[in-house]
């Protein structure tokens, strides 16, 4: 009889040797020995454990190590840490044990990975302190996050074996945090796969439809790419350029997001694919010059669209990405995107940070100048440390700020002297001011953007030139927090306000105490209660602050103090009669405990009722889902379920931050309740068009219109209407009817 443990060991060994296949020739014997020792410990520690899929647990750390080795390109210490990443969390081994067997650095990596796993706690969805520990570990050694990204990627690849509500939570976390983090570290392939897998599990029907269409259109697309690239190949060969040229279809997720954003069909996406030219660097000309040389050869053949030129060769992205993107007009009037990059640029674009370090020596200047990518990465990590040092926000706000400041798209603005300042997208003038210098931010009163006067709240665009205006008597105020977006600006504004409040508090405290002493009265809690009641302030802290700031004048305080003195004996008797001298229970102990709602992980049915207030769910107004939409539910404190569309940004954020409240929801047939939907209708105007539209909506389809606005200009019209429907079936039927009306070119549902 075959022993299952022997089979498990043989399968694990085969997977391990496959993982190590690309490293055996580059590692020393000692390095190979350490990796194998880590495998043996992981195998023994996880012996008998199984994943939800039924597979032996050891196969997971081996798979993570393979991603670390093959797809990211890290070394033996990272491989060992990947193999050991669940040992401390899931078994009796400790970090001290790991350090004793493998040394300080591998133990540090394993410890950082273990802390990372506690970010999403089951009771408080995001534990800011644990997240801070992880980010600090990342700041010391970024391999912690690279290994964790490999771990999350493998979890996403095997997500099908998880329960539906777990899938929603993990997929939302991945889209909200891990995919942007992978993008920020230049791991394009991992970021793309994470996004596609998220879509595959959250919107399986749409994913399969798009995948089928991509496969079905492949022959036509391949033929077009072959025709398009033929003259380019001829020119590259003629100029003795060593290159590889290929056509790549964009990811399913990016295609879907473009369809959603532009409200177009798959067939209307013109830039479905991109052609990439990867050349081998030649002597006598640097890589940047070679990129522009190939650009010149291509644009001699095809006319370029100068508005879509993206030069990340002259100014690389902060994650190290370098490439020249151009869009040219090909045959049949089709725009085609072309990417031009060297082999080195391509590997960094595909594998990110790890590939950068492999090429680091080629980048470094002989003069000892700091490498631009190193400087950008150091600045990014410094911004993280700054956020951690100054953050006083709750856990959810902290993660939102981190995502906004560190993972969002960037814009580049310029000072009057031409100095470039990189900021997150949606940054304002006040963010720019604090990025230049704290003192300038504190005194800012406005700016001239491209020579036009604008307020501090003005949102900057890529390429803006900003001249800041300041005043010596200007001070930060709380209103600035409404439009400051960067962590640096918000922290500096809060620090300035806090310092000013502290100064007011001390000044006011001294003033109030001096007044009381002048009346010969001893300060006590009861006296301060009378004063705060008399001046309608919440507590003595507010009293001190308002007096110090000059907001509150204590001209009538003598009456309050004299009244206190006269009624001292009466108050004493009153307290005795009320039994105030007796020991009372702490009010905290008398307060009822707030019970967390019990979450039913089975499908929550969205049933119907004539009175919406009596339903045990409510519809989110941000996305207004209707029956037939793919939806997700969240248990609210009052035990109602809040229903969002699955692709609603608010829902993705809520699922990532409060995954423990997710409940799977399912529509039942609705024939009584109506749901609000919004349509836009556009096309060529004619007499009687609006009448024909309303006739179909009201008379034929019996749909109630809540709001209708119509606008016509130079022969074109655009109508927007809010209507009440039972479901997406009703809505789609109506859209189909409206699209057949003469003159109507487009009918879209919008949020």
Q: Is 608 a catalytic residue?
A: no
E-assigned strand segments in 637-730: 641-645, 662-663, 665-667, 675-684, 704-713, 716-725
Instruction: Choose the catalytic residue: 18, 89, 96, 382.
Output: 89
Question: Which element (helix H / strand E) includes 605?
Answer: strand 604-606
> Strand pairing partners for 708?
721
Instruction: Using CA atoms of 211, 152, 395, 405 in order, give the dihedral in degrees to the nearest 10.
Output: -70
CA distance 278 to 283: 16
Residue 546 and residue 552 in contact, taking contact as beta carbons nearer than 8 Å? yes
- Residue from 373, 325, 371, 321 nearest 349 by CA: 321
Residue 321 and residue 347 in contact, taking contact as beta carbons nearer than 8 Å? no
Estimate the crossing angle of helix 104-116 against helix 128-140, to 10 degrees.
150
Give exposure, 627-640, as e/b (b: 16+ Cβ within 10 Å): bbbbbbbbbeeeee
According to DSSP, the β-strands at 716-725 and 704-713 are: antiparallel
Which residue is listed with tokens 């000059």? 550
> Strand pairing partners for 410?
424
Provide the 8-state DSSP code for 159: G
CA distance 376 to 539: 47
Instruction: Choose the catalytic residue: 11, 55, 90, 97.
Output: 90
435 C-beta neighbours (distance < 10 Å), count: 18
CA distance 396 to 166: 20
Task: List, in sequence order, the alpha helices (H) in 263-305.
Answer: 287-299
End-to-end Cα spacing for the chain: 63
- Residue from 363, 387, 383, 388 nearest 374 by CA: 363
CA distance 724 to 704: 6
DSSP 164-181: HHHHHHHHHHIIIIIHHH
- Residue from 231, 213, 245, 259 nearest 331 by CA: 231
Residues sharing a CB contact under 8 Å with residue 93, sequence separation 6 or more, in sequence order: 41, 45, 87
Q: Is 89 a catalytic residue?
A: yes
**Sheet with 444-449, edge to edge strand ranges:** 452-454, 444-449, 466-470
CA distance 383 to 451: 30
Residue 426 and residue 460 in contact, taking contact as beta carbons nearer than 8 Å? no
DSSP 705-743: EEEEEEEEETTEEEEEEEEEESSHHHHHHHHHHHHTSTT
- Count helices and strands in the chain by DSSP H and E runs: 32, 20
User: Could you list the active site residues?
Assistant: 89-90
């Amino acid at each position: 009889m075959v022993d299952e443990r022997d089979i498990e060991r043989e399968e694990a060994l085969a997977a391990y040797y496959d993982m190590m296949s690309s490293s055996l020739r580059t590692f020393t014997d000692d390095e190979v020995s350490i990796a194998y020792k880590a495998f043996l410990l992981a195998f023994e520690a996880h012996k008998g454990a199984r994943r939800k899929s039924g597979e032996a647990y050891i196969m997971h750390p081996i798979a993570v190590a393979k991603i670390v080795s093959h797809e990211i390109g890290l070394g033996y210490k990272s491989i060992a840490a990947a193999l050991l990443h669940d040992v401390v969390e899931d078994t009796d081994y400790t970090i001290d044990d790991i350090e004793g067997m493998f040394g300080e650095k591998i133990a540090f990596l394993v410890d950082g990975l273990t802390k990372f796993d506690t970010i999403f706690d089951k009771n408080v969805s995001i534990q800011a302190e644990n997240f801070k520990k992880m980010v600090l570990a990342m700041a010391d050694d970024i391999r912690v996050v690279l290994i964790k990204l490999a771990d999350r990627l493998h979890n996403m690849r095997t997500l099908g074996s998880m329960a539906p509500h777990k899938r929603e939570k993990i997929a939302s976390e991945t889209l909200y945090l891990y995919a942007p983090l992978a993008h920020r570290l230049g791991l394009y392939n991992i970021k793309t796969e994470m996004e596609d897998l998220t879509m595959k599990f959250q919107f399986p029907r749409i994913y399969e439809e798009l995948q089928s269409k991509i496969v079905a259109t492949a022959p036509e697309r391949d033929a077009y790419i072959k025709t398009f690239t033929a003259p380019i190949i001829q020119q590259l060969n003629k100029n003795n350029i060593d290159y590889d040229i290929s056509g790549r279809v964009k990811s399913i997720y990016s295609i879907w997001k473009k369809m959603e954003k532009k409200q177009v069909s798959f067939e209307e996406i013109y830039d479905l694919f991109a052609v990439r030219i990867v050349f081998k660097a030649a002597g006598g000309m640097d890589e940047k010059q070679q990129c522009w040389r190939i650009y010149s050869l291509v644009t001699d053949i095809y006319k370029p669209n100068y508005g879509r030129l993206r030069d990340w060769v002259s100014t690389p992205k902060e994650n190290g990405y370098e490439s020249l993107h151009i869009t040219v007009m090909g045959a049949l009037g089709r725009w085609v995107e072309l990417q031009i990059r060297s082999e080195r640029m391509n590997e960094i674009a595909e594998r990110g940070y790890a590939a950068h370090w492999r090429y680091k020596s080629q980048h470094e200047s002989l003069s000892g100048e700091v490498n631009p990518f190193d400087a950008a990465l150091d600045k990014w990590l410094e911004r993280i440390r700054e956020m951690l040092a100054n953050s006083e926000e709750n856990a959810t706000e902290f993660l939102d700020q981190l995502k906004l400041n560190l993972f969002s798209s960037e814009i580049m603005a310029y000072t009057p002297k031409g100095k470039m300042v990189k900021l997150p997208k949606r940054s304002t003038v006040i963010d720019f001011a604090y990025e230049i210098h704290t003192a300038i931010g504190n005194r800012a009163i406005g700016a001239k953007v491209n020579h036009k006067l604008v307020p501090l709240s003005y949102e900057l665009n890529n390429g803006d030139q900003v001249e800041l205006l300041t005043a010596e008597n200007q001070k930060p105020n709380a209103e600035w927090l409404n439009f400051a977006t960067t962590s640096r600006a918000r922290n500096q504004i809060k620090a300035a306000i806090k310092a000013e409040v502290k100064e007011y508090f001390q000044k006011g405290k001294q003033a109030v105490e001096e007044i009381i002493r002048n009346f010969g009265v001893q300060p006590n809690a009861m006296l301060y209660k009378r004063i705060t009641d008399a001046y309608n302030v919440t507590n003595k802290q507010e009293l001190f602050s308002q007096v110090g700031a000059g907001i509150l004048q204590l001209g009538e305080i003598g009456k309050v103090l004299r009244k206190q003195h006269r009624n001292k004996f009466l108050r004493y008797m009153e307290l005795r009669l009320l039994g105030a001298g007796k020991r009372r229970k702490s009010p905290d102990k008398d307060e009822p405990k707030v019970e967390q709602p019990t979450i039913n992980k089975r499908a929550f049915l969205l049933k119907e009722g004539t009175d919406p207030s009596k339903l045990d769910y409510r519809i989110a107004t941000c996305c207004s889902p209707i029956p037939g939409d793919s939806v997700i539910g969240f248990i609210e404190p009052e035990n109602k379920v809040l229903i969002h569309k699955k692709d609603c940004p608010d829902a993705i954020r809520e699922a990532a931050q409060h995954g423990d409240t997710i409940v799977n929801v399912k529509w039942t047939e609705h024939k009584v309740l109506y749901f609000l939907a919004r349509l836009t209708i556009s096309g060529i105007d004619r007499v009687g068009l609006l009448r024909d539209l309303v006739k179909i909506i009201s008379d034929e389809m019996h749909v109630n219109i809540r709001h209708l606005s119509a606008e016509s200009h130079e022969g074109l019209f655009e109508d927007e209407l809010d209507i009440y429907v039972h479901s997406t079936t009703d809505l789609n039927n109506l859209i189909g009817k409206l699209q057949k009306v003469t003159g109507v070119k487009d009918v879209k549902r919008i949020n």
